[in-house]
Amino acid sequence: MRLSILTASLLFSSFVSATETCPDPLKLKNICMMVGNRMPAPKPHGEIVYRYQLALREAACVAENEVPSKVSEKVRLAWQASENLLVCNSVQFDVMAGNLLKFAVSKKNDDFIDDVIGWGVNLNRIDPSDQRTVLDYIKFHIDRNKGNELEGKFEIYYNQFRKAGAKHSSELETSR
């Protein structure tokens, strides 16, 4: 009896692994809400504090004890495969179908920004709706908020993204 339960368990886990889709964009459903509302993980543990971290790890099929470099690689690949789906629409967001990075900047979600920069995701997507990258978006908000306290916050983001390799759309067009 014990042997048959073990065999069934091994067969089931093999079946699940064989049929698991990686990356799985369906795991990223509601990611904008997770980021915008800073939704906590159902069971925070280790580095997983927020629901978006769990969703991205699940979409990337990251194992529980995966080494950080492998986590980054898998999340980066999942992000790349799902990038066209990582767009947000909200009455509290000034870009129609704007990418998740811009949305995180608009919500001033520092933790998410730190995570995605650490994972090394593409920071240079140009949204069809506004023809801007996240760096263009941040620069627009720096100019728009000249002289008030938000200018400083956006300048921090600008420097952070720039240091991580983000470019303006005009820089991307000249490098093509």
Domain boundaries, the chain: 24-174
Give the CA count within 13 Å in the CB-facing half-sphere of 33.
4
**Bridge partners, 50 (sequence order):** 40
Residue spans of the chain under pLDDT 70: 1-20, 173-176
Contact 52, 34 (CB under 8 A): yes
Largest CA distance in the chain: 74
Contact 136, 168 (CB under 8 A): yes
Residue that the structure tokens 């952070």 belong to: 160
CB proximity list for 129: less than 8 A, separation 6 or greater: 95, 96, 97, 98
What does the pLDDT read at residue 21?
87
For residues 86 and 91, give the distance between their C-alpha atoms in angstroms, rounded to a whole number. 17
What does the pLDDT read at residue 174?
59
pLDDT digit string, tens, across residues 44-79: 988 899 999 999 999 999 998 899 999 999 999 999
pTM: 0.86
What does the pLDDT read at residue 64?
87
Residue that the structure tokens 């999942």 belong to: 78
Residue that the structure tokens 């991307």 belong to: 172
